[in-house]
């Protein structure tokens, strides 16, 4: 909600001026796979110059790196959907390139972390590789989804509607389950399985039998009234 309120001026201006120089520039850059990596620049600046000073706490007030980083990604989603035809064509066509870049950058990131001691050079290098890795996987997921999931399907329609309620529910359910598991002397595999299936299971039960079926509750979870 905070992101939406802050970015309303940009959203309104961009929608009213879809042929502005900035939007046309993004559209032109996004026609090529390397051009889509211009979006890495703001992410890198946040990672390199803000992240060291603000550890992630998920607080609203003082978690400036996480707040700015997530808002940048939120804005990117809006901008890319403004040029959706160009964007979808590029990510679908070059999805394998993004996948290879994601794998290689992840390997390089692990080598940097486990080989070099902490230093200024390592920080700036690792920050760059980290955001390239992040953005590569985002583009990879979009590319393969555009290729294989862009079709009519009852399962996809159901899943699309469930995404936001699941997003809202999952962390509360996950932490509640973890509260009861954390002190138990069980194996990692057992705890991981219970956390995974328990989080998904309870999220689905609440969504299917409460949120999805009750028209007064649907809008509270981002769903249209039936």
pLDDT recorded at residue 26: 96
192-201 pLDDT, tens digit per residue, is 999 999 999 9
Q: What is the DSSP letter of 39?
A: G
What was the pLDDT predicted at 47? 97
Residue 99, burial from CB neighbour count under 10 angstroms (0-12, 13-18, 19+): middle
Tell me which residues of the chain have a pLDDT lower than 70.
Answer: none
7-51 pLDDT per residue, tens:
999 999 999 999 999 999 999 999 999 999 999 999 999 999 999
- DSSP designation for 149: S
Helices (H), the chain: 2-16, 21-29, 40-49, 64-82, 84-93, 95-115, 120-148, 154-181, 188-206
Domain residue spans of the chain = 2-148, 154-221
Give the burial string for 203-226 (b: 16+ CB within 10 Å, else e): beebbeeebbeeeeebeebebeee
Give dist(CA 196, CA 185) in Å, integer.
Answer: 18
């Amino acid at each position: 909600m905070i992101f939406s309120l802050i970015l309303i001026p940009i959203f309104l201006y961009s929608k009213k001026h879809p042929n502005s120089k900035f939007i046309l520039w993004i559209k032109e850059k996004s026609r090529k796979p390397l051009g889509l990596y211009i979006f890495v620049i703001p992410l890198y600046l946040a990672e390199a110059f803000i992240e060291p000073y603000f550890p992630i706490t998920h607080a609203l007030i003082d978690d400036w790196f996480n707040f700015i980083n997530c808002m940048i990604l939120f804005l990117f989603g809006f901008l890319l959907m403004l040029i959706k035809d160009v964007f979808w064509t590029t990510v679908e066509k070059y999805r394998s390139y993004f996948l290879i870049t994601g794998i290689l950058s992840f390997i390089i990131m692990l080598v940097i972390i486990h080989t070099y001691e902490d230093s200024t050079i390592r920080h700036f290098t690792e920050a760059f590789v980290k955001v390239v890795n992040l953005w590569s996987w985002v583009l990879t997921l979009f590319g393969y989804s555009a290729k294989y999931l862009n079709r009519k399907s009852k399962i996809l329609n159901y899943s699309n509607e469930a995404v936001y309620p699941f997003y809202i529910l999952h962390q509360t359910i996950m932490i509640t389950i973890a509260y009861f598991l954390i002190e138990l002397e069980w194996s990692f595999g057992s705890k991981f399985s219970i956390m995974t299936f328990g989080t998904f299971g309870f999220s689905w039960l609440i969504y299917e039998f409460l949120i999805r079926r009750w028209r007064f509750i649907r809008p509270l979870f981002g769903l249209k009234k039936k």
